[in-house]
Amino acid sequence: MLFAAAEIVLLVVAFEAAYQLRVFLPLPREFYILTPVKGLVLGFTLTIWLLTGWWFGVYDRLYSQQLRAALYDTVRQAFLTTLTLVAFQFVLRLDISRVFIGLFSAFSFFLLLFYRVAAGPLRGWIRRQFGAEAFHVIVGSGATALEVGRQMEAAREDGIRLVAFVDPSGQMGPKVQLDKSYPVWRVDELAGRLRAHVIDEIIFSVSTAKIGELEDIFFLCDEEGVRTRVVIDFFPHVHRNVYLDRFGSLPFLTFSATPDDEARLFLKRSLDVVLASTSLAFLAIPMLLLSLLVRITSQGPAIFAQVRCGLNGRKFTFYKFRSMVDNADDLKPGLEHLNERDGPIFKIAKDPRLTSIGPYLRRYSIDEWPQLWNVLRGDMSFVGPRPAVPSEVSQYETWQRRRLRMRPGLTCLWAVQGRDNVDFKTWMKLDLQYIDNWSLLLDFKILLQSIPQVLAGRGAS
């Protein structure tokens, strides 16, 4: 949705250019708009443009946009936005020049049409700069499967990465040679491969007769939360969200058991950036003082860094204020018998490894403040399943791994339903409940409910 943001910028440019040109034109009637009215009109116009684009699915187009599709989408959006703007100014009885509206409509149309046609290289540059690579596996051995692979190779500039093929027939051999050589996995290897590799999507390119034989793979992907796409018109009823889109000239049915509405996810990410940057600025001095306090009260660094699993299992460095002694990991084996949690989680209510101020840092979640940097970087979100360490993830049951398919967060449903008093399976089920019912409103409710929990220090240890 960086491209929706870019379109907002271009619309603002088109609006201001139309305004300044209308002011400059030597027409009989003088033209100006008061600043509050100008802001109202611009805000309304931007909202209508984005809503019409969302409604028409403009921002759901896969990877590239052909000239004909770009022209069609832009004409529809420009026409409806202009029509709605005319109705808006009529209802509110705003005195807005028709010449200005016409200029704005023309400028926005040509600017955005040019942008959409020329955005392919820009999309690739942004994906490369921000590391937004997407890793794919193709299930199939026919000509169409190979064509999908070739088109993925052609989309490398857009961050598309082909990892391997899965051969349902068992006749492909150990490698598939396109521009590059790709390994061929057996069907019975796929579960283990998903654990060993970061896989964002699996694409099925097989005959309709073969789809029925691959039902177990669909169920596996559904449990793990792996997005799947089918190049054929067969509908396996195993996934939650189904929609049609295209990759190049090939039609895909997309099945997703996790949220994938790019507009809402973009807004969620935008709110994360705003809140995290504001919070870091506000807490900068307290965090500096806390760092000094941690160093003074115990030996070792102020910040504890650890590898955690993020979106789709991607590893990232997770930060906390250190609340335990510096050699806490070395002491863990001798304390295993005191573990009070079930499943792969290790937790002791009165952990002997805590420093003198550690209990207070944990009770009020002060030790979590450095994770605002993780949120700002995009490793985490304010609301989402808590990030787990790789050793815990390796012990997950298959259905529990779907929690990895949402960006991890500082708080989630478990935080408002008992925090550390929730048993492991309930914790996992709450995370999946969050994923299945996710909305921006749900995030807002969880944040509001988490604040009194943290301030009161309830349920944390």
Strand partners, 203: 138, 229
8 Å CB contact between 239 and 173: no
Tokens of 284: 């900068």
pLDDT for 85-105, tens place per residue? Answer: 888 877 777 777 788 888 888
- Cβ proximity of 51 and 4 under 8 Å: no
Residue-wise pLDDT for 257-269, tens only, equals 888 777 788 888 9
Other beta carbons within 10 angstroms of residue 160's beta carbon come to 22
| DSSP E strand stretches across 234-302 | 241-247, 250-256
Half-sphere exposure of 341 (CA within 13 A, CB side): 21
Task: Calculate helix-pair angle for 67-91, 98-129, nearest 10 degrees.
Answer: 140
What DSSP designation does 168 have?
A: S
List phi, psi (to 5°) of 100.
-60, -45
* Domains in the chain: boundaries: 2-129, 134-256, 262-456
First-residue to last-residue Cα distance in the chain: 39
Please check the confidence at residue 331 and state whether its pLDDT lies above 50. Answer: yes
β-pairing verdict for 381-383 and 315-321: unpaired
Q: How far, in whole angstroms, is CA 82 from its chain's centroid?
A: 32
What does the block give as tokens for 277?
């940057």
Nearest residue to 436 (alpha-carbon basis) of 244, 237, 225: 225
* Helical H segments across 355-439, by residue range: 358-363, 371-377, 390-393, 424-436
**Amino acid type, 294:** V
Alpha carbons 341 and 344: distance in angstroms, whole number: 8
Mean pLDDT of the chain: 82
pLDDT band at 63 (very low <50, low <70, confident <90, very high): very low
Distance CA 180, CA 448 (A): 50
CA distance 41 to 403: 42
pLDDT digits (tens, 9 = 90+) for 433-456: 999 889 888 898 898 888 887 777
Give the confidence band of 304 by pLDDT, cuts at 50, 70, 90.
very high
Question: pLDDT tens digit string along 110-169?
Answer: 888 877 776 655 565 655 555 567 899 999 888 888 999 998 998 887 778 899 999 887
Per-residue pLDDT, 120: 58
Of 400, 387, 393, nearest to 430 by C-alpha is 400
Give tens-digit pLDDT for 3-18: 677 788 888 898 888 8
pLDDT at 62 over 50: no
Q: What is the pLDDT of residues 193-252, one digit of tens each?
A: 888 888 989 999 887 778 878 888 888 888 888 888 888 655 555 556 777 777 777 777
Per DSSP (E only), the strands in 133-221 are 134-139, 160-166, 175-177, 181-185, 201-204
Indicate the helix (H) or strand (E) that contains 306: strand 303-309
352-411 residue pLDDT tens: 888 889 888 888 889 999 999 999 999 999 999 999 999 889 899 888 999 999 999 999
pTM of the model: 0.63
Q: Which CATH architecture has domain 134-256?
A: 3-Layer(aba) Sandwich (3.40)
- Nearest Cα neighbor of 309 from 261, 376, 374 is 374
Structure tokens at 128: 């490369």
For residue 407, what are the contacts with CB-CB under 8 A and spacing of at least 6? Answer: 310, 311, 378, 380, 381, 384
Segments in 179-261 forming alpha helices (H): 190-196, 208-211, 215-224
pLDDT the model gives residue 379: 94
Q: What does the angle CA 409 – CA 412 – CA 418 come to, to the nearest 5 degrees?
A: 135
